[in-house]
Structure 1
Amino acid sequence: MVSPANLLRLGVLVILMAFLLQPGWFGPLLKPLVQENAPVIYNRGSLLWLTVLHLRIVLIATLAATVVAVSLAILVTREAGTEFLPLSRSLVNIGQTFPPVAVLALSVPIFGFGEKPTLIALFLYGLLPIFENALTGLTTLPPAVIEAARGAGMTERQRLLKVELPLALPVILTGIRLSVVISLATATIGSTVAAKTLGEVIIAGLQANNLAFVLQGGLIVAALAVLIHDALQAMERALAQRSQV
């Protein structure tokens, strides 16, 4: 039997896809929010294509942050790399120390306008939650399991790939989920430096005093964040249950 929560998620997904594919259907609902003769549905580009580009930027930045953050966590949990833990923490905290707007302002003179400054900002901002969760996952493994792996004659590399990372994966995925949700919202500011994101819709609404545009961009980002958050959370639960078997 489908739970009410899953029905609600399905409803959000259906409405989101309908709006992206046929936004004109929702014009009557949004018309009270605009001034007379002002456009109701965003008309400076395709909402579907902007959503795809928005997700693409978030995906690239999250993948890069995951590779770097997990690699650093693995390094500092090895005997030869424990002394690098303070340095690693300082590095991953850079993104939280500098606001994304400041990172954009510093990146534009070097990389120019467009997608690159946004990717750098999202990458730096996403490092900390993934690193801390990967560190927690790798340092809280059951000692008996690690000893059993050693007793079975596994090398350190085999223990890492076949035992430690699979067991730590649910916790690592929690960090990735937090990073993705943060990036989905933060990516909207990329449009201030000419990156193609849903922030373009929000900025156009603010410039034209068109509340319907602002609402469209904000609700699409919110719906994506909720759906992706819940999907990743379901994956975490499935992996956690599998690791306990």
Structure 2
Amino acid sequence: MRRFLPAALRLVLFVLLVTFIVSPGWFEPLLKPLTENNAPAIYNQGSLLTLTLQHLGTVAVATLGAIVVAIGLAILVTRPFGAEFLPLSRSLVNIGQTFPPVAVLALAVPAVGFGEKPTLIALFLYGLLPIFENALTGLTTLPGNVVEAARGAGMTSRQRLLKVELPLSLPVILAGIRLSVVISLATATIGSTVAAKTLGEVIIAGLISNNLAFVVQGGLIVAGLAVFIYDGLVALERVAARRMGLSGL
């Protein structure tokens, strides 16, 4: 019963979030008290559904790029021939954390112009570190007896990587991806300052027009997406851990 109630509550909240994104007009009476001077309560300069899909698309593309690069670097530096590149790799993935996303946007706009591209660059750089560090941790803390057994079975280094090391590291890698995605979901809102189509457009419109209703609805959608995607990735981590016999994770 204790498990059912939170799951049922999450389901209700998820349905409410989807309903609000698809048909925000139904919730106008709830948001109207937050407006002044008869201002619109529901964002009317675009479709919330379209902005949500574009927001998620931008995060997905940036995260996919970060996954490929970060895991590739982690694999490289955990091989004997690539160990010497660990300090350089750490310096590279720390770039996104060294410079705030706003600074990255400011530097990227002159090079690639306004729109989605500078936002993708900022999210990509910002998402590298958690994925790289978790992949590195996963690949360097494998049970030694398992790796030796794979080597004794005659597996090549490539086979050990694909069939033993990466599968065993998957729950830890997924935890890094989860952190990266949640950070990117929130950070993507600032992309609207450089004309990217994200939910930040709703928040910025509210700040400019002093319309609290716009700010609240934009913030609630981003927060709701972050919570449900976080929960989904946690569930995925647990499934991966059970399959690898790591139920304690």
Range class of TM-score, shorter chain: over 0.9
Map of 2:26 onto structure 1: 25
CA distance in 2, matches of 1:133, 1:235: 16
Map of 1:167 onto structure 2: 168
CA distance in 2, matches of 1:9, 1:106: 40
Which deviates the most, 174-183 or 18-27?
18-27
SS in 2 for 1:137: helix
Q: Which stretches of structure 1, 4 residues or longer, exceed 4 Å deviation after superposition? A: none
1:86-165 pair list within 5 angstroms: 86-165=87-166
1:26-45 pair list within 5 angstroms: 26-45=27-46
Map of 1:85 onto structure 2: 86
Map of 1:198 onto structure 2: 199
CA distance in 1, matches of 2:162, 2:13: 38
CA distance in 1, matches of 2:103, 2:158: 40
> Deviation per CA, 1:131-189, whole angstroms, max 9, x where unpaired?
00000000000000000000100000000000000000000000000000000000000
Number of residue-to-residue matches in the alignment = 245
In structure 2, the gaps of 5 or more residues are none
Map of 2:233 onto structure 1: 232
> Deviation per CA, 1:189-244, whole angstroms, max 9, x where unpaired?
00000000000000000000000000000000000000000000000011101101
SS in 1 for 2:109: helix
Map of 2:185 onto structure 1: 184
RMSD: 0.9
Q: CA deviation at 1:27?
A: 0.5
Letter in 2 for 1:48: L
Letter in 2 for 1:197: T
In structure 1, the gaps of 5 or more residues are none
Map of 1:71 onto structure 2: 72
SS in 2 for 1:40: coil
TM-score (norm 1): 0.99
